[in-house]
Structure 1
Amino acid sequence: MKKISALFIINLFLLNSAIADVYYCSDKIKNGIHSITGNESDYMPAQIKISQFKAKINFDEEEFSSNDLKLTSLNCQRIPGQISMTCTGVYGDIISIDATNVNSNSIKYYRASTYGRGDTLFVANGTCDKF
C-alpha cells in the first residue's frame, strides 16, 4: 500500500509540473508595415490592430502555444539564469517572454512577425495575466 501511495504522489507531482499555465495576453503597442497588393515591393508603414489572445506557457518544459495566434509548434529556448524564453516558428514568428521582474501572475512579452514576401510585418509588446 505504501508503494502505491508513493507512486501516486510521484505521478501527481510529475503531471502537475509538466502542465502549462494558461495566460490571457494583450498587445499594448503593435506597429509594422503592410503591402496593399500583397507584393513585397510596395510596403507602407501601417498602424496594425492590437491583438488579444490566450496562450499556454511552460518555462520548465520550454513550451509556448496559442491557438488564437495559430502558433502551436514553436521552438523555444529558456534563457539561462532567468525566467525567460524565446520561441521561434518556421514562418518568421518570434515571441520573447520575460517573467523575471514581474509578479508571478503577470509576465511581459515582445513578439514579431518577420516572414515578409508580401505578408504584413510587425513588432508588438504587451503583458500576459494568468487565468
Structure 2
Amino acid sequence: MLSVFLACDDPYRSAELFTTRLGWRLLFATPPDSDDRLACVGLGDAEVLLGTADEQFLPAASRSHRGAGVTVYLRLPVSEPIEPVHARHADAGVVTAPLSERAWGETAFDAEIEGYRFLIAQPLPPTHQP
C-alpha cells in the first residue's frame, strides 16, 4: 500500500474538515501535545496522512506552491457509491471539476482540499456502455 503525507498548518483541524464536512473517516491521530503531530484520514480503502507544515516538511519558500504538480488519486471500490461522496465534497465547496464519466472508464471528480488536488474516481460498472 502506498500512503501519502500532506503537510498541513494544523493536521487536527484538517482532519476535522475531512471527517465532518467531507465524510472521510478518522483512522487515528496522535495526541495534540505530542512531538509527532499527525492524523490519518481514510476514504474507501485509501489512507491520507496529515502532518505538520514544519520547515523540515514544507520550507517557507515552498509554502505558496503547496501541492504543485501533484494530484492524489483515490479510487473508490464499486461497493461505495461515488455520488454521495461527490455531494459532500460539492457542499463543502472543494469540487473543482464535476462528477463525470472519464474517457479511461471511470466516473470521477476533482477537488482541492487544504491546498492539495485530489482526483476521486470509481470504475464504471462492467455492464456500462458509453
Whether TM exceeds 0.5 here: the answer is no
Q: Could you tell me the TM-score, scaled by structure 1's length?
A: 0.29
Higher helix share: 2
Higher strand share: 1
Q: Which has the higher contact order (CA 8 A, sep 6+)?
A: 1
Q: Could you tell me the TM-score, scaled by structure 2's length?
A: 0.29
